[in-house]
Amino acid sequence: MTVLSDARELAGDITDLRHRLHQEPEIGLQLPRTQEKVLEALQGLPFEISLGTDTTSVTAVLRGTGAGASASRPVVLLRGDMDALPLQERTGLEFSSRIDGAMHACGHDLHTSMLVGAATLLAHHRDQLAGDVVLMFQPGEEGYDGAGVMIREGVLDAAGRRADAAYGIHVMSAGASNGQFASRTGTLMSASDGLTVTVHGAGGHGSAPHQAQDPVTVIAEMVTALQVMVTRQFDMFDPVVLSVGVLQAGTKRNIIPDSARMEATVRSYTPESRAKLARVVPRLLEGIAAAHGVEVTVDYVTEYPPTVTDEGETGRAERVVGELFGEKRFTRMVNPLGGSEDFSRVLQQVPGTFVFLSAAPRQADAPAAYNHSPAATFDDGVLADGTALYTQLALSRMAELAG
């Protein structure tokens, strides 16, 4: 395939960009150094560039010059997220993060580099495009809803009309053989919501709890009651997950504190279960607090919706992977993943799909660390393949839309 061979010729440049991004990770919606590197890489290519207002996003539009282009030009969107995580890297790589407390532990440096590579290839194949391609370089995926910000600022209509199809790729540092692609039709990833709870009691001496209102025992009961609620009130075939990740109270062992606090992540896969969780979780916690005569503040925040892929677009991704790399390189996932993605917001409005690509080490002496681990590593060898897939998805979908 010409696209694949062209991508492999670019591998050195793509790898160099990935290493430079990895060394200077940035967190959240403001990624000025990352934006600068992307703009530098796009310089000289025939893209119409626009920058975000509330975030350092980059939107790049390529106008195809292929035969059949008309006023109702088809539009394909390709997305790559750019932000890092608040972790101290301990991979030992030569190009490890130079920024204390920040690391590209979820592979977004690979996504950005692959999308830049696709920009170069698509510009080279511009005469095969009878429509427009929108490249969505997105900050703030890791809990900042960067996709939502970019949608509000018009990325889905950046070419002058709504995108007809949208595609994203996400690398994984473990869990599958190196170079393997995977996706599924329908629900691919869970919805994500956040729960913050503060129990307000009355402090006192640890030797005399009857003279205080102990928030610690109350919040401990809440933690276990939430797990019972999950198993008793929700269908096992429509699962939900609630995991407490923060539990804070007190300063010394013989002091009953005034308050206790917890934070949890809540995952679900259907609108029905998600709506039910938002109702029953506060009710349960308020009931426990009332039973113990204390006050409670419950903050239940809806975050990312489930990532739901289009059947036709997922089938297209499978065919394109087969054409580029062979049928055995694509796996149809049986079950969704428990993680969440703000690309779900794009897929709510535009038919598309999301494809995982294993960048697990080719040879490892120990089990590979998963995404979000400070020891997670991603193989540069998959960069050309991801670049080729981005490019060919756009070319293939454009040809069909313009046909």
- Sequence ranges of the domains in the chain: 3-189+306-402, 191-304
* Element housing 122 (H / E): helix 108-124
Annotated binding site for Mn(2+): 106, 108, 142, 170, 372
Helix axes 108-124, 383-402, angle to 10 degrees: 50
Cβ atoms of 223 and 244 closer than 8 Å: yes
Binding residues: 106, 108, 142, 170, 372
| Per-residue model confidence (pLDDT) at position 70 | 57
Going by C-alpha positions, the residue among 377, 341, 386 that lies closest to residue 22 is 377
pLDDT at position 363:
76
Q: Which CATH superfamily groups domain 3-189+306-402? A: Zn peptidases (3.40.630.10)
pLDDT in tens, the chain (403 residues): 589 999 999 999 999 999 999 999 999 999 999 999 999 999 999 999 999 999 999 999 999 988 765 557 899 999 999 999 999 999 999 999 999 999 999 999 999 999 999 999 999 999 999 999 999 999 999 999 999 999 999 999 999 999 999 999 999 999 999 999 999 999 999 999 999 999 999 999 999 999 999 999 999 999 999 999 999 999 999 999 999 999 999 999 999 999 999 999 999 999 999 999 999 999 999 999 999 999 999 999 999 999 999 999 999 999 999 999 999 999 999 999 999 999 999 999 999 999 999 999 987 666 899 999 999 999 999 999 999 999 999 999 998 877 6
Q: What confidence score (pLDDT) does residue 1 get?
A: 58
- pLDDT in the model for residue 402: 75
Q: Is the pTM of this model over 0.85?
A: yes
Please report the pLDDT score of residue 49 as a whole number. Answer: 98
- What three-state secondary structure class fits 217? helix
Return d(Cα 206, Cα 214) in angstroms, integer.
Answer: 9
Identical fold between 3-189+306-402 and 191-304: no
Query: What fold does the segment set 191-304 form as a domain?
Result: Alpha-Beta Plaits (3.30.70)
Q: What is the pLDDT of residue 311?
A: 97
Of residues 172, 163, 104, 171, the one with CA closest to residue 135: 163
Contacts of 2 (CB under 8 A, 6+ apart): none
Structure tokens given for 272? 């029905």
Residue 104 pLDDT: 98
pLDDT value of position 71 = 58
pLDDT for the residue numbered 10: 97
